[in-house]
């Protein structure tokens, strides 16, 4: 039997959306308030899809997944300025679209080969991005 499990996490980070190739006017027109440095309370959802182990009834131990997210994602990004402090974003805009791909690339190597991974990152209560194997 195939099932999907989900572990949630939460962290705060700051960013600024700014294209250095554009004038200040075009940056403000495009990014609005997001052209200023500002913070978000990010809500992260990490989903793993795979075979349920008949010995445990688990796809994966959620405590193990929780520790992995804490060590690899929360510790790395919590209370950071994504533009200034995080080399993962070098050459990339710190948008939620790029952020989900970065989190996917960090977590994927830690999972079993036959586990599928899907990341949802809520930047606000209204805005989110998703990236993953499905
Ligand atoms: Ni923002």
Catalytic residues: 34, 79, 123
Cα of 31 vs centre of ligand 1, distance in Å, is: 9
Cα-only R_g, the chain: 17
The pLDDT assigned to 60 comes to 97
The pLDDT assigned to 120 comes to 98
Structure confidence by residue, pLDDT tens digits, 29-59: 999 999 999 999 999 999 999 999 999 999 9
CATH class of the domain whose range is 2-132: alpha beta
Q: Residues 97, 19: contact at Cβ < 8 Å? A: no
Cα of 108 vs centre of ligand 1, distance in Å, is: 25
Cα of 65 vs centre of ligand 1, distance in Å, is: 27
Low-confidence stretches of the chain (pLDDT < 70) are none
The residue extents of the domains of the chain are 2-132
The model's pTM:
0.96
DSSP 91-120: TS---HHHHHHHHHHHHGGGS-TT-EEEEE
């Amino acid at each position: 039997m195939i099932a999907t499990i989900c572990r949630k996490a939460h962290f705060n980070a700051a960013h600024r959306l700014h294209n250095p190739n554009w004038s200040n006017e075009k940056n403000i027109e495009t990014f609005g308030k997001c052209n200023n440095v500002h913070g978000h309370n990010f809500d992260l959802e990490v989903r793993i899809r795979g075979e349920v182990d008949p010995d445990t009834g688990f796809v994966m131990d959620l405590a193990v997944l929780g520790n992995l997210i804490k060590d690899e994602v929360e510790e790395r990004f919590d209370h950071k300025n994504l533009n200034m402090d995080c080399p993962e974003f070098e050459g990339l805009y710190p948008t939620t679209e790029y952020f989900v791909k970065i989190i996917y690339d960090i977590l994927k190597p830690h999972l079993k080969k036959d586990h599928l991974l899907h990341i949802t990152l809520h930047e606000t209560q209204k805005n989110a991005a998703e990236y993953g194997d499905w």
